[in-house]
Amino acid sequence: MIGDDLLDLGGQVALVTGAGQSVGREIALTLAKHNAGGIAVNDFVLERAAAVAAEIEALGVRAVPVSFDVGDLEAVRGGVKAAAESLGPVTLLVNNAGNAGPNAQIGLGPEFWESDPGDWDRFFRTNTFGVMNCCHAAIPGMIQAGRGRIVAIVSDAGRVGEARLAPYAAAKAAAAGFVRALAKETGRYGVTCNAISLSAVAPPMEAEKARAFEESDQARRQVSRYVIRRFGRPSDVAGMAAFLCSDAAAFITGQTYPVNGGYSFAV
């Protein structure tokens, strides 16, 4: 997509975390389609990262799988270094890895006062410290390059609140606040920092199961709270991520953009 592409990424190298499936996978593929020079595909699960890297290579764009836990700073440093050695300096960083950590699904918990304090850490480890770790490792290279784009995928649970998801909501709100502060530090180096806030994205499942799920009472109830009456799709998020990584968004920093079908409105 070289030529008149408003979202042309000019051959820059991207690192997308948690990109082995769903939203992160779609972001990685979309950046590749918009002329990224290479994609470092991170996932805690190596096989997933390798499969997505192979999909990107099939598009004719260089890609490497870099498997690490974003909550482990030493491993993050090693991954950013390996990505730069294989592909060149990372100037696009999309912090997508999230939820309840590498081995856990997010789900409604008990009410906060009944939650086990020992259970809070896993939300912060991935959704907050994971973002901080990746930014800490990648920003020096961006400053050296005199350009950079940082995007964090957060949640409307953190922006407008969601019952029985308080630790997750707190960790996502912390990431958005972190990105705002970082924007103020990095702007003078040509680096922008923004967040994208999601509502429910349809989980990855086979077409038949997805149809059955969408027709269930639970899904219909949930979707009735959206102005656009459907679940989000990974492609909805990937478009915004590509935009924020592109030169078209050069004057946008420190913002949180809801991509949520009108579940809540930003003012």
Q: Give the residues lining the site for ligand NAD (CB under 6 A).
A: 17-18, 20-24, 42-45, 48, 69-71, 96-99, 101-102, 126, 130, 153, 155, 198, 200-201
Helices (H) and strands (E) in the chain, counts: 10, 7
Give me 156's structure tokens: 């409307």
Smallest distance from the beta carbon of 20 to ligand NAD, in angstroms?
4
Compute how many other C-beta atoms are within 10 angstroms of the C-beta atom of residue 79: 27
Closer Cβ to ligand NAD, 65 or 147, answer by number? 65
Residue type at position 193: C
Smallest distance from the beta carbon of 60 to ligand NAD, in angstroms?
24
Q: Tokens 């270094």 belong to which residue?
A: 81
Q: Which of 168, 226, 257, 263 is catalytic?
A: 168
Residues ≥6 apart with Cβ < 8 Å to 48: 20, 21
Catalytic (active site) residue 168: yes
Residues ≥6 apart with Cβ < 8 Å to 258: 156, 159, 196, 197, 198, 199, 264, 265, 266
Closer Cβ to ligand NAD, 104 or 212, answer by number? 104
Smallest distance from the beta carbon of 28 to ligand NAD, in angstroms?
11
- CA triple 192-197-201, angle to 5 deg: 130
Closer Cβ to ligand NAD, 8 or 175, answer by number? 175
Helix (H, G, I), strand (E, B) or coil at 5: coil
Smallest distance from the beta carbon of 17 to ligand NAD, in angstroms?
6
- Candidates 65, 20, 60; CA nearest to 40 is 65
Give me 40's structure tokens: 């470092």
Smallest distance from the beta carbon of 235 to ligand NAD, in angstroms?
12
Closer Cβ to ligand NAD, 24 or 37, answer by number? 24
Closer Cβ to ligand NAD, 89 or 101, answer by number? 101
Inter-axis angle of helices 22-33 and 234-245, nearest 10: 50
Helix (H, G, I), strand (E, B) or coil at 83: helix
Enzyme catalytic residues = 168
